[in-house]
Amino acid sequence: MSKKPATSATNLTAWLRHNVWDVDIALLPRWQAALIGLVRFGHVIIRSVIGEQLTLRAMSLVYTTLLSLVPLLAISFTVLKGLGLHNEIEPMLLGVLEPLGEKGVEITNEIVGFVENIKVGVLGFFGFAMLFYTVVSLMQKIERAFNHTWHIARDRSFAHQVRDYLSVILIGPLLVIMAIGIMVSLLNTAVVEMLSAIQPFGLLIKSAAKLAPFIMTFAAFTFVYMFVPNTTVRLRSALIGGVVASFLWSATGWMFGLFVVNSAQYAAIYSTFASLIIFLIWLYLGWLILLIGASIAFHDQHPEYVTATRRQMSLSNRMRENLALLIAFHIGESFYRSAPNWTADGLAQRLSAPMDATETILAALEKEGLLVRSGSEPPTFLPARPLETTLVSDVLHAARVAEETSYLNPDRLPREMGVDAILNDVNDAAAAVLQGRTLKDLALSGAAPCSGPKPETDTTTI
């Protein structure tokens, strides 16, 4: 009897694999292909929530938010106060915490009280530095959570972090308040009031006013998905992630509001801690929704990750060498054609290769001094040596020794004469075939170089 549930689960897994994952959707009718594609996509998103640490990262962001929320609002409050808009912070917080009902009003009053009691001008240099560091640490945690979802190993440079974070901290609240003010002003104009009295314009205006919070939430999510990950995100993918996250936010807010209304027993059990616990739960759900939307945007832009099982990226030797040569070819060809330089994301899309694999090979070529990374955001890649004197064999060697360490490399293995002889013969044969072939030959093998010099901004790093 105890084996029946396991057997049923096994049969369901086998049925899903046979009817969902093993089917070539290119041969199916469009509606059926779309349905199976949607099921695959949903399976991958659920797997990413359960198995790819989204829940743990959401919990981590809740802890960091508790430490950073008051300093973040204090800095924004100082800027808005200088513009005479500081009184708009409370309505913004009330809007975010609206699903908490009366608890949201209570928490908002407490936070605003904390913010108003902070005097940024009397903190001194070290006090302000700690305040600023607390805020920056929150932004770093958010970026790293997004980079993990997007399989990006590198954070922004420190200079770009300061620039981008300050933009979000100082300008973001101002833009939100201006957008709300413009919307309210438009709704109160004489023309709109006159149209409201005429049907069906009145119904349309009321519907637009009700949809306004959803539209602003959607715009905020889309903006975050476009600019927070340290990579180029397509507008389409960010829009899809923003739409889904907005619906999840609205639905979760509605259900959470019902939960709060019927949570009188929690207030009796937890007493004064009830508001804090409800606030923590809402913070967690908010961060989880944000990360789920980011995962949706990532899988839309990188459909190669939509697979039946979560794959651990592992490259074969043949794949490493093939990718290394293709990357060297495209970067070299771009150099001779005076074309825009390649980014890691651009190369991954051009080669239809996972981002992890592309980053691994780029790091190997960079480590061996064959490529150099620019200081732009996102960084582009350029040849680090003259292509006419760099051998193709150097690229293959870089791919072969990638990720070797001082404690894990062939030199630490026991030596056998027969094995050494075979490896030497293989190396000699490869050297004979590749003798004298340079990266310039490889780069020009695809098309003739365009006339005209390389722009000076690109050649200065060579």
Asked if residue 115 lies in contact with residue 77, where contact means CB atoms within 8 angstroms, the answer is yes
pLDDT, tens digit only, all 462 positions of the chain = 445 555 665 676 677 777 777 777 777 788 877 888 888 888 888 887 877 678 888 888 888 888 777 777 776 666 666 665 556 666 767 767 777 767 777 777 777 776 666 665 555 666 667 777 777 778 888 888 888 888 887 777 777 777 777 776 666 666 666 665 555 555 565 655 565 666 665 566 566 666 777 787 888 889 889 888 888 888 999 999 999 999 998 888 888 877 777 766 665 665 566 777 888 888 899 899 999 999 999 988 888 777 766 665 677 888 889 999 999 999 999 998 888 899 888 898 888 888 888 888 999 999 999 999 887 777 889 999 999 999 999 999 898 888 777 777 787 888 888 988 998 888 889 888 888 889 988 888 865 444 333 433 343 333
Say whether pTM exceeds 0.85.
no
In 3-state terms, what secondary structure has residue 387? coil
Q: What is the pLDDT of residue 296?
A: 92
**Tell me, what's the pLDDT at 460?**
34
Q: What is the DSSP string of 109-148?
A: HHHHHHHHH--GGGSHHHHHHHHHHHHHHHHHHHHHHHHH
- Write down the pLDDT at residue 199: 64
What pLDDT, on a 0 to 100 scale, did the predictor assign at position 240?
A: 93
Domains defined for the chain, CATH in brackets: 4-51 (no CATH), 54-305 (no CATH), 317-459 (1.10.10.10)
**What is residue 293's predicted lDDT score, i.e. its pLDDT?**
92
Task: Please state, in angstroms and rounded to a whole number, the distance separating the CA atoms of residues 289 and 221.
Answer: 10
Rounded CA gap, 458 and 340, in Å?
9
At residue 273, what is the residue type? F
Which pLDDT does position 56 carry in this prediction? 84
Nearest partner of 87 among 97, 76, 98, judged by Cα: 76
pLDDT of residue 243: 93
Residues 6+ apart with CB under 8 A from 299: 41, 44, 45, 48, 305, 306
- Which residues on adjacent β-strands are paired with residue 382? 372
Number of C-alpha atoms within 13 angstroms, CB side, residue 291?
A: 30
For position 453, what pLDDT does the model report? 39
Q: Output the pLDDT for position 454.
A: 40
Strand partners, 313: none
